Amino acid sequence: MTTELAFIEALRRLAGDPAARNLDDDCAVIELGGEALVLTHDMMVEGVHYLPDQDPADVAWKLVATNMSDLAAKGAEPVGVLLGYTLGRDDARFLEGLGKALTHFGAPLLGGDTVAGQGARTLGLTAIGRATHRPAPSRGGARVGDVLYVTGPVGAAMIGLEALRAGRGDSLAYCRPEALLAEGRALAPHVTAMMDVSDGLLLDASRLARASDVTLEIETAAVPIATPESRRAEALRWGDDYQLLFTARAQTVLPIKAFPVGRAVAAQSAPLLIDGRPVAEGEGLGFEHGRE
């Protein structure tokens, strides 16, 4: 099986339009006159992104939230969504959760497609947003000397999934994550690069470093975590937290609270220096499809 990273590298040969941003971002940004449209598409697979017996209302919420988080990283406000849905069990419950999520995030349903099939279900959502600051932030703008920040603790989704599997405890962070739309809009004029943390803070930081052609020094002790200290290493590699990870000039006064966790230095052989040690993407930094 082709790894996710290898497949995206091959896709870059087909994505020559400037709106694709060389596939370095999770969103396309299309300039239309005085506006910039932000488009993103996320999918969720049964048994990979959610448990087969999980509440369909929670699945619907998470499908919307993951796309809204991509818009947040571009400082965009939602315009609407298109749904790709595979019919299955308790479709009415999915619709209930979908309606609540769309209302919560202010994203009207504009259309989509519905199919029936066998095996594990795949759900997709395309979100359309409008950039509130131009140029919309990218992953590729970090510069040497910039400070690396994260908006909040990581690891909450990991604990939430464990609670869900055990049938006890608070699973809300995993089942119904938030998308930091307001925070993204506030940060957009001040950041040099920004993305959301969906596949693990370390892996996503390496992607930001590669897109910006810098190396990011990260002090792991500075990263806020939502887990016991003994599980810090896991929390740094766990996805689904949807915090915003961004860089800003050292003198920038930020409009919201954020946690400095490192800085950008001149590009080296590895995209990350974790507590002073050079680390590459293949060293188990986070979740990548197609990698065992």
- Which residue range forms the structural domain that includes residue 169? 147-279
Residue 205 is predicted with a pLDDT of 97
Residue-wise pLDDT tens digits, 200-252: 999 999 999 999 999 999 999 999 999 999 999 999 999 999 999 999 999 99
Residue 258 falls inside a structural domain:
yes
Q: How many independent structural domains does the chain possess?
A: 2
The β-bridge relationship of strands 147-150 and 244-248 is antiparallel
Mark which of 66, 98, 131 sits at the end of a domain. 131
Asked if residue 248 and residue 184 are part of one domain, the reply reads yes
- The rounded Cα 26 to chain-centroid distance in angstroms is 8
Asked if residue 270 and residue 154 are part of one domain, the reply reads yes
Residue-wise pLDDT tens digits, 176-192: 999 999 999 999 999 99
Residue 116 falls inside a structural domain:
yes
Residue 289 falls inside a structural domain:
no
Instruction: Give the C-alpha separation, 191 to 24, whole Å.
Output: 17
Asked if residue 59 and residue 86 are part of one domain, the reply reads yes
Residue 8 is predicted with a pLDDT of 76
Residue 47 falls inside a structural domain:
yes
Average pLDDT over residues 38-61: 94
Average pLDDT over residues 51-64: 96
The mean of the pLDDT values for the chain is: 92
Secondary structure (DSSP) of 25-43: SSSEEEEETTEEEEEEEEE
Residue 290 is predicted with a pLDDT of 42
CB 195 within 8 Å of CB 139? yes
Residue 183 sits in a domain of what CATH number?
3.90.650.10
Closest CA to 55 of 171, 159, 198: 171
Asked if residue 104 and residue 77 are part of one domain, the reply reads yes
Residue 15 pLDDT > 90, yes or no?
A: no
Asked if residue 122 and residue 165 are part of one domain, the reply reads no
Question: Per 3-state DSSP, what percentage of the chain is helix, strand, and coil (rounded to 5)?
Answer: 35, 25, 40
Residue 42 sits in a domain of what CATH number?
3.30.1330.10
Query: What does pTM read for this prediction?
Result: 0.92
Residue 148 pLDDT > 70, yes or no?
A: yes
Asked if residue 91 and residue 154 are part of one domain, the reply reads no
Residue 137 falls inside a structural domain:
no
pLDDT band at 51 (very low <50, low <70, confident <90, very high): very high
Asked if residue 216 and residue 161 are part of one domain, the reply reads yes
Q: Which residue has the tokens 């800085």?
A: 263
Residue 214 falls inside a structural domain:
yes
Residue-wise pLDDT tens digits, 103-142: 999 999 999 999 998 888 899 999 999 999 999 999 999 9
Residue 12 pLDDT > 50, yes or no?
A: yes
Q: Which residues pair with 123 in a beta bridge?
A: 44
Asked if residue 40 and residue 8 are part of one domain, the reply reads yes
Asked if residue 170 and residue 235 are part of one domain, the reply reads yes
Average pLDDT over residues 280-292: 56
Residue 286 is predicted with a pLDDT of 54
Asked if residue 248 and residue 274 are part of one domain, the reply reads yes
Mark which of 97, 131, 165 sits at the end of a domain. 131
Mark which of 98, 131, 164 sits at the end of a domain. 131
Handedness of CA 246, 252, 254, 259 (dihedral sign): positive
Residue 101 falls inside a structural domain:
yes
pLDDT band at 2 (very low <50, low <70, confident <90, very high): low
Asked if residue 43 and residue 153 are part of one domain, the reply reads no
Residue 288 falls inside a structural domain:
no
Asked if residue 267 and residue 162 are part of one domain, the reply reads yes
Whether the ω angle into residue 271 lies within 30 degrees of 0, i.e. cis, is: no
